[in-house]
Chains A and B, each alone.
Chain A
Amino acid sequence: MRFLTAKRRHRAARPALLVLALLLMGALYAAVAPAARVSADTGNSQQVAEGKALFQVTCSSCHGMNGEGTSQGPSLVGVGAAAANFQVSTGRMPMANPGAQAPRKQNTYTDEEIAALAAFVASLGPGPAIPTEDQYSGEGLSPDELAKGGELFRTNCSACHNFEGAGGALPNGKYAPSLVGVSGQRIWEAMRTGPQQMPVFSSGALPDEDVRAIVGYLDTLHAQPSSGIAFGGLGPVAEGLFAWIIGIGGICLIAVWIAAKGARAR
């Protein structure tokens, strides 16, 4: 305690105390305050009202005051809470500027705001709801199911998203984004709602257990080690580039060195 006493008039003592107090308050608040509700409960009229207010501020300039759509943006009637949750939580909506495709970016909404928006969009018409974990989780699948997920992925997804989900090009500046690090919930929502250029894979075509297999396959694939530097999983173009730069380039440097180390005739 002598230390505290001695240092109580130190220059940094007051700011440090302030920070400590703030930390304490924050911790107390986190412990005492009620847990945030993140589910889009369409029956909760207050949440819908909040969502509508938020929607009219941040979305309506393109999608219309009631989500009916304008020349700038499509109607949101019937797209479902899953679509709103996917678009907003990945930062794709609201769109920063009209381009070929809305890019993934930093999401600035809180979970409650997204839930409110989703609840409002869900109230416009029936559509896919936000999935529960047992619908999309890739955990606890058998090797055979994972292998089947790989087969489903290569049949349905790899044509655009590349063999390991590294992404690929689509016409006119559009693209299929990389799936590395994308959560199972996002993949489920994207498959069911078909955001941007993506087609809808309905539960009639690919039931939830198939989505789980695909998610499980991708998670396992991305977790396994590669046999060396993988160059972003882009295939032979990247391999060829490095064969030239590192292989031929490196060997040529050594050739220059060997040629310079000659014997001089005396």
Chain B
Amino acid sequence: MAKPADVSVDSPALDTERPPEQQGLPAGVTNAAVWADERLGLASLLKKNLRKVFPDHWSFLLGEIALYSFIILLLTGVFLTIWFKPSMAEIEYQGTYQLMRGLPMSEAFASTLALSFDVRGGLLVRQIHHWAAMLFVASMTVHMLRIFFTGAFRKPRELNWLIGVGLFSLSLIEGFAGYSLPDDLLSGTGLRFVDGLIRSIPLIGTWAEFFIFNGEFPGDLVIPRLYMVHILLVPAVLLGLIAAHLALVVYHKHTQYPGAGRKDGNVVGYPLFPVYMAKAGGFFFVVFGVAILMGATMQINPVWNFGPYNPAQVTAGSQPDWYMGWVEGAIRIMPNWEWHLGSTTWSWNVVLPGVGLMTALFVLLGAYPFIERWITGDTAEHHVLERPRNNPTRTAIGVAGITCYGMFWLSGGNDILATQFKLSLNAVTEFMRVAVFVAPVIAFIVTKRICISLQRADAERVLHGSETGIIERSPDGGYSEPHRPISIDEKFTLTQHVQGKALEATPDTDGHGVAEKGAGVSSLRALASRWFYAGVIAKPTKDEIAEADHHADGHDADGHEVKAGKSESAGQISH
């Protein structure tokens, strides 16, 4: 993953020579450009920014997916607002869909049915909007993971990381509000779930519920309110944060993967215009195309099958959209802990896994760059990304986090797991109760070991070159595999990273036995730092590489002999 993208051989070469002096643009274009420049001062702005250089890697496009799905959501959302009626007024349905004929329902649900069955293209746009919403949050998640695993959140990008966490949390609220608007049986059940979350907040829960729902659930105001949140409040904040997010990317300049010629002080890549203009523009259409294809061929949220919301009804398979599934899962597997103190109820069974877990995720995400900085004492600016293996503890923390999230996520579908894989629902639930704690620990250990092994493999590759896969037999019967030295560029890529050192605790007293004051390294911090750097393989030093090079030069076909008597699987290689 962390290798810089290979550029295919048949790609067109970018001509860096200055083209011969041209006759200039047609007068009309020039005049218009001059007119605009004299009034808006665009020329200097564009000149600077159109030549802005961005590095090239597929994983840098993950955030773009989020941006483009947001644009798709705005476009399709505008269409939907034209037809949707955010009203909880009860009417008797007399529309086109025969299986709902004469049923009492809210205007919101009736207008969703009309949107789906009577408005030309309405169902398609609804499905595109919903799929794009799933893609929006999913692409934010993978983008965030890319940032995390490559250490792109380090100085100077901590604030942009925080903006990203804010975008992620707001997108969950935005998604949930949208999920609730159609007022079908599923969205009403989801709303009831959130109603329970709000009520579970100790002491103020009931008041908070009455405040949000304007009285008892479901009331008749929550959909207009969520509509406001969904189409105005959250999108406006999202837009502002996205603008800030992108402005900071431009200001900080984009990070780049390590490679020959890439340093913290430069950016190796291509200019925005024309290369990234074309790539990003094309990618926008690709994302839009995928969203349309999904909307056209894959059914999502068939509200006409769910029926109108009725608090007396519920359906098996009631789940939120995927991004809230982990909270659903946490509540599904939580033991039934509840206190009754005086006249108050403390629903730990809901408030801990629901409110508590969501808070914990966002606090941990937001705090991580600062925690890591505290542990490592790394105050340097970083513009070259870290390969995940070169920071094994961070990578292991990330994978443990993904595993924990995944376990909660699976728990959210425990009934689907039970029916689809012929398991016992109780067994799945009880397994998950243990797995959410144990699986992340296993994942942490395994990931850390894999990273360290990869570091070892890197060192091996730098010192001994790459295996040729050719086994040679010598006249006296020994077998050996010649190794081919790797390129100097690859050696650089594999060894360019700076290996941090664990912090040492500053002694409590100075040399004269007088207590030290002020900013030192506490023993706790030193302990955390030792843990963070434990097990790291020291990268080959300059001398080791020079010696290995010399060694390879001396033996033309560098014979790494496998001793005939030893088993080959042991891989014992001697020089």
| A interface residue numbers (CB < 8 A to B) | 100, 143-144, 146-148, 150-151, 154-155, 158-164, 166-173, 175-176, 217, 220-221, 224, 226-231, 233-244, 246-248, 250-252, 254-256, 258-266
Contact = CB atoms under 8 A, between A and B. Distances in A.
Interface string B113-155: 0001000000100010001001100110010000000000000
Interface stretch (B166-174, B219-227, B308-316, B473-481): B308-316
A154 B423 contact: no
Contacts of B61: 255, 258-259
A113 B57 CA distance: 70
Contacts of B294: 243, 246-247
Contacts of A221: 99, 305
A233 B305 contact: yes
B275 interface: yes
Interface string B97-124: 0111111000000000000100000010
Contacts of B100: 147, 150
Interface string B411-434: 011111011101111110000000
B186 interface: yes
Contacts of A164: 305
A172 B306 CA distance: 27
Contact of A263 (B12, B131, B426): B12
Interface string B297-338: 111111001110010111111111110010000000000000
B489 to A, nearest CB: 15
Given A251-B135, A265-B16, A266-B13, A242 B298 contact: yes
A255 B8 contact: no
A237 B16 CA distance: 51
B445 interface: no
A259 B282 CA distance: 12
17 contacts: A147-B98, A154-B307, A154-B310, A154-B313, A155-B313, A158-B185, A163-B305, A170-B425, A173-B424, A217-B99, A226-B299, A234-B420, A237-B413, A239-B134, A247-B138, A256-B58, A265-B16
B296 interface: yes
B139 A248 contact: yes
Contacts of A154: 185, 307, 310, 313, 315
Contacts of B302: 226-227, 230
B289 to A, nearest CB: 9
A163 B306 contact: yes
Contacts of A175: 418-419
Contact of A261 (B8, B299, B322, B426): B8
Interface of B: 5-8, 11-17, 56-62, 65, 98-103, 116, 123, 127, 131, 134-135, 138-139, 142, 185-186, 270, 275, 279, 282-283, 286-287, 290-291, 294-302, 305-307, 310, 312-322, 325, 412-416, 418-420, 422-427
Contact of B414 (A169, A250, A252): A169
Contact of B317 (A168, A230, A240): A168
Contact of B283 (A160, A230, A243, A258): A258
Nearest to A266: B13
Given A162-B316, A172-B426, A260-B7, A231 B98 contact: no
Among B138, B282, B301, the most chain A Cβ lie within 10 Å of the Cβ of: B138
B426 A171 contact: yes
Interface of B is mostly: helix
B299 A228 contact: yes
Contacts of A250: 290
Nearest to B409: A240
B294 to A, nearest CB: 6
A263 B412 CA distance: 45
Nearest to A253: B58
B299 A169 contact: no
Contacts of A255: 58-59, 61-62, 65, 283
A129 B320 CA distance: 43
Nearest to A155: B313
A230 to B, nearest CB: 5
A265 B14 contact: yes
Contacts of A217: 99
Contacts of A230: 299, 302
A217 B304 CA distance: 13
Contact of A163 (B138, B185, B322): B185
A247 B56 CA distance: 22
Nearest to B141: A248
A246 B299 CA distance: 13
Given A147-B99, A150-B100, A169-B425, A262 B11 contact: yes
B132 to A, nearest CB: 9
B142 A248 contact: yes
A230 B102 CA distance: 26
Contact of A158 (B11, B102, B316): B316
Contacts of B13: 263-266
Contacts of B315: 154, 158-159, 162-163, 235
A168 B101 contact: no
Contact of A229 (B8, B291, B297, B313): B297
A264 B7 contact: yes
A59 B424 CA distance: 27
A143 B94 CA distance: 11
Contact of A247 (B99, B290, B320, B413): B290
Nearest to A154: B313
Nearest to B321: A236
Contacts of B325: 236-237, 240
B305 A258 contact: no
Contacts of A264: 7, 11-14
A168 B322 contact: no
Contacts of B116: 227
A240 B299 contact: no
A159 B312 CA distance: 10
A172 B426 CA distance: 5
Contacts of B275: 262-263
A252 B301 CA distance: 24
Contacts of B11: 260-264
Contacts of A246: 294, 298
A261 B72 CA distance: 25
Given A147-B103, A221-B99, A227-B127, A235 B318 contact: yes
A250 B290 CA distance: 8
Contacts of B419: 167-169, 175
B387 to A, nearest CB: 17
